[in-house]
Structures are given as structure tokens and as C-alpha cells.
Amino acid sequence: MSNIAPNKKNVLVIENVSKVVTSPEGPLTILSNINFIVTQGESVAIVGASGAGKSTLLGLMAGLDIASSGHIFLNDQDLTEMDEDQRAEVRAKNVGFVFQSFHLIPSLNALENVMLPLELNNKKSAKRHAQNILNQLGLKARVQHYPHQLSGGEKQRVAIARAFAAEPTILFADEPTGNLDTRTGENIMNTMFELNRNKQTTLILVTHDAKLASKCNREIVLDAGSLIKDSNT
């Protein structure tokens, strides 16, 4: 059960969302009639077997793709009624991402990677802010290092620092520990949950890891594109 207070703001509202794509065999339903609400500060695990539709759902919720039908409201803004430029603007203001493959820019050092989204959002004191969050994540000695000079765990911490630096309303993490050993992965997730609690940033996590999912406030289980369980209900 969720331990989030009932008066928390709705950050994400998914209403009757389906995703259908064309294939040589005809229409293929990836997601079918998905409904749930996520409130401020929740940590939510999206789980299910490969092919269940987890990453597709994450892409829709983040405005990276458009649903075939239904509505997705992010901070009361209907992503399904927006064009790509409008969705990109909403993402820049509200959304952070952490991926399995880090997605750091090779030509930028750790500090510059974290500064980039801050500068794109015209945030004042971007360098100081980026330095502070890297320090908090134990990377003070690595700020001038480039991605190829960092371990997998360090790269993921830089990615987390970049995601949280812009103080997003919601953070989407897609298998964020998939390329890490067990101990490093646990440390990374402890860091993410700590930031989730301290900053009240909503965390939505796609994972195959049942142990990791159990640490979230709530689990949403997908099977063949349908929502078959929501531990909040």
C-alpha cells in the first residue's frame, strides 16, 4: 500500500490509455486501457515480463511518444493534446530521466554533463548547483573526469545528479541498475530513494527486479499490455 497522504497533488493521471502499432500481421496492441494516478512524492515500480509494455508506458508518460487513445496528464497538462515541441517544453520543466545505459555525453566531463540541462533551462548559478549535487552523491573528486574515466556506478551517479539537478517534478528510471553489479546497483537505488524522499520528487521505476520493486511505495504490474495489479488499490 502507498504511504503517501491522500491530500497530495496528482502529478500523473493515466486515463484509458492504449497504444496500437501497425505490423505486417495487422494492428498490434502494446497497451490496452491503462488507468492509474500517481501523486507527489510517490515511488512507483512498473513491473512485468519482457514485452509486457513497461518501457512503452514509460515513454508515453514522459511524453516521448503519443498514445493511440486515452489521456495522460502531467502536472495537469494533457500530453495527448500537444505537439512534439510542446511536449518537449513540458519535459524540460518537469521531467528527469535515468536510463540503463547512462546516456552521458562523452565529450563533457561529469560537471559539464550535470550543468547542461541547467544551462538549457537558464538556471542561475548552474555550475555551483551542479557541483553541490555531485558532492552530495560522493563525486567531489570526479567532477573533472569524462565518462570513459568513470566506473559504471560513477556514471550512473552522474546521470542521477543530472536528472535531479533540474529539480524535476517526476523522475522516470528505466532499468537504472541493469548494467551494474548487485552491490553498486543497491547503492544507486538507495541514492535515488533518498533523493525521492528528501526532495519529494515522484519516482517511477521500470524494473525486472522484484526486490527493487518491493522497496517502492507501490507496484503496478503489466501483463501483455494490460494492467493486472496495482498495489495501491
What would the grid cell of residue 202 be? 515522484
Q: How confident is the model at residue 233 (pLDDT cuts 50, 70, 90)?
A: low
The conformational region for residue 190 under phi > 0 = left, psi -120 to 50 = alpha, else beta, is alpha
Question: In angstroms, rounded to a whole number, what is the distance separating the alpha carbons of residues 155 and 159?
Answer: 6
Choose which CATH entry (3.40.50.300, 3.40.640.10, 3.30.110.40, 2.40.50.140) describes domain 10-230.
3.40.50.300
Given a contact cutoff of 8 angstroms between Cβ atoms, the answer to whether 54 and 70 are in contact is no
Question: In angstroms, rounded to a whole number, what is the distance separating the alpha carbons of residues 109 and 144?
Answer: 5
User: Is 147 in a helix, a strand, or coil?
Assistant: helix
Angle, helix 152-165 to helix 110-120, in steps of 10 degrees: 20
- Is the model's pLDDT at 98 over the cut of 90? no
Each residue of 51-68: pLDDT tens digit?
Answer: 899 989 999 998 889 999
Question: In angstroms, rounded to a whole number, what is the distance separating the alpha carbons of residues 87 and 165?
Answer: 20
Average confidence (pLDDT) over 192-199: 84
Given a contact cutoff of 8 angstroms between Cβ atoms, the answer to whether 137 and 63 are in contact is no
